[in-house]
Amino acid sequence: MIPHGALHFHPNTANRPATIMVHELPDPHWPTREAAAQSRLFSPVELGPVRASTRSWVPAMVPWRATEEGEVTQDVVDWYGRFADGRPGVLVVEATGIRDIPSGPLLRIGHDRFLPGLRRLVDEVRRRSGGETRLFIQLIDFLSIRRRPEPEKYFRRFLQLHPAHREGLRVWTQDDRWAKASDDEVREGIWRAGESAWSAILDDREWEDLQFGARQRVWDMHVPEIAELPAVLPTLFAQAAQRAESAGFDGVELHYAHAYTMASFLSRQNDRPDGYGGLPEARVRLPLEVYERVRDVVSPKLAVGCRFLSDEVIQGGSRIEDACFYAEAFAQAGMDFLSVSKGGKFEDAKQPKVGEAAYPYTGPSGLECMPTVRMESTPFGRNLPLVRQIRDRVHAAGCATPVVGAGGIATFAQAEAALVAGDCDLVGAARQSLADPDWWLKMRNGRGEAVRRCIFTNYCEGLDQKHKQVTCQLWDREFERPDPGGGEPKRSHDGKRRLVPAPDEGSKP
Ligand SMILES: Cc1cc2nc3c(=O)[nH]c(=O)nc-3n(C[C@H](O)[C@H](O)[C@H](O)COP(=O)(O)O)c2cc1C
Ligand code: SF4
């Protein structure tokens, strides 16, 4: 028998491009106050039942400030309050877990006990934006991913032994004694045989579990809780959306993007045989069922939309044609907005160190999700051509669902050009808003030259990767200035970084 794991390929071997080129920040062409007032960027837009006062959008960003139990902390409230100071049209609260299961310091909404904290967050955003900013929350489900194991532990505890392993060891060692050895002896034997033997004896999935940490897939139909996802997720999302509404949010963004459960249903890789995988019509079925259940249980006043990918940017993944098909289906189902991201997958992530978990933004697809100045072609607005195709398809289907574009947008000129050209209806700027939450207001006030500009080198993303409190490297230049509340700047756990940027005295609305 030829051991089935004889040749292992992981797309991570196709690493990030070797070319390192530092792109200059685009010329901002900051507007005068009058030009801003007449711009499309600062004109209102309807998102179904919700009117945003401007077309400016701060996409979801996880800041790692919740408690270990997923509760809102004062730091979470301060974080969103600080974004509200800049009065974006829409501010989206970070990916928030819909289940009532331990998930570390990731915000959660899987039980009513989370409501008081979420209400405090809503109140703060209302207060600090003068009631202007519409507040949405991103609802996420994710599957289990384990840390990369110590090989010894993996072979002794995690590997599910089956006859092929025993046979593989027998062939590798040319020793027939393994046929009658105990399971524990076989485990020990494989472990001691070393890495070349492991590569030959394990199948592809086991090899990946060993090298990267075990990660569930939505097509693992042999796992009962995975097989049951279509039965449980609509209710879980619907309950979370009801809670969001009762906490006072204006909208919910169903997280159908990046490396998580719903995006995996949409993926071309999804070959579930139960009517929820295979053809695009089947892959989009659960995302539509989730949306419909959510819409059924919330009031007509709540905006409901989703974030999904224009391209997964992985081998065998969904492409723009799939995204256009999904966009049409979502728009026709009645979603109130479509927010478009790109990439951010586990499949091409870098191998984590032993004891750490893979992070879906470390490979080429991650770079597309959060493009940096150190990439081959320009990081600025690079998702917009795909966003445009999605919007065109939505319009061709007779719908006018607003489409949000994001990815390397950080100037007035870029934002306005994208809106005027019809690439998108709202402009998302995550890292630029992180670098300077006041930048929207500065532009509106004709104070563009005071904008602290993101330099797109992803210091913030590096912190996110380590699940450390996310901050911007540029904030620390103002280390001594007081916090927005007027007190000593609050510092990160390591004491070295500001937790929110200093206030901008010139940015009074
Ligand atoms: C620290 C950090 C955390 C993020 N967390 C989320 C998240 O929770 N949900 C999400 O959809 N995208 C998340 N993103 C991706 C951003 O929303 C955005 O799509 C990406 O940064 C590209 O936009 P930008 O170029 O304007 O930054 C995160 C990005 C950063 C930098
Ligand atoms: S840390 Fe760097 S990439 Fe992140 S927001 Fe600040 S300047 Fe931009």
Structure tokens at 37: 């007032």
Distance 473 CA to ligand 2 centre (A): 6
The CA–CA distances, whole Å, from 164 to 1, 2, 8, 168, 220 equal 9, 10, 17, 6, 20
Q: Which ligand is nearest to the CA of 406?
A: 1
Structure tokens at 321: 């044609």
Distance 434 CA to ligand 1 centre (A): 10
Counting Cα atoms < 13 Å in the Cβ hemisphere of 94 gives 24
Q: Is 461 in the pocket of ligand 1 (CB under 6 A)?
A: yes
> What pLDDT sits at residue 478?
80
> What pLDDT sits at residue 85?
97
Give me the residue label for tokens 């040319």: 174
Residue bearing the CA closest to ligand 1, atom 22: 407
Best residue for ligand 2 mutational test, from 454, 458, 475 (most atoms within 8 Å of Cβ): 454
Distance CA 434, CA 431 (A): 5
Distance 435 CA to ligand 2 centre (A): 6
Give me the residue label for tokens 């320009």: 378
Tens of pLDDT, residues 85-135: 999 999 999 999 999 998 888 999 999 999 999 999 999 999 999 999 999
User: 189 Cβ partners below 8 Å, 6+ apart?
Assistant: 169, 173, 178, 181
Tens of pLDDT, residues 4-20: 333 343 444 444 555 56
Helices 115-128, 74-85: axis angle to 10 degrees equals: 30
Residue bearing the CA closest to ligand 1, atom 4: 61
Distance 430 CA to ligand 2 centre (A): 10
Distance 59 CA to ligand 1 centre (A): 6
Q: Residues 263, 257: contact at Cβ < 8 Å? A: yes
Residue bearing the CA closest to ligand 2, atom 7: 454
Ligand 2 closest atom vs CA 457: 3
Percent of the chain with pLDDT over 70: 95
In which element (H, E) is residue 460 found?
helix 459-465
Is 508 a residue whose pLDDT tops 80? no
> What pLDDT sits at residue 487?
80
> What pLDDT sits at residue 94?
98
Domain 11-146+220-455 has what CATH class?
alpha beta
Domain boundaries, the chain: 11-146+220-455
Tens of pLDDT, residues 341-394: 999 999 999 999 999 999 999 999 999 999 999 988 899 999 999 999 999 999
> What pLDDT sits at residue 1?
31
The CA–CA distances, whole Å, from 78 to 63, 82, 213, 448, 505 equal 11, 6, 35, 24, 17
Q: Which ligand is nearest to the CA of 458?
A: 2
Cβ < 6 A, ligand 2 pocket: 431, 434-435, 454-460, 472-474
Residue bearing the CA closest to ligand 2, atom 6: 472
Residue bearing the CA closest to ligand 2, atom 8: 454
Q: Is 406 in the pocket of ligand 1 (CB under 6 A)?
A: yes
Question: Which has more confidence, 416 or 10?
Answer: 416
Q: Is 433 in the pocket of ligand 1 (CB under 6 A)?
A: no
Q: What is the mean pLDDT of residues 496-501?
A: 93
> How many other C-beta atoms are found inside a 10 Å radius of the C-beta of residue 105?
19
Query: pTM for the whole thing?
Result: 0.94
User: 282 Cβ partners below 8 Å, 6+ apart?
Assistant: 272, 275, 276
The CA–CA distances, whole Å, from 100 to 29, 218, 243 equal 47, 20, 13
Distance 439 CA to ligand 2 centre (A): 14
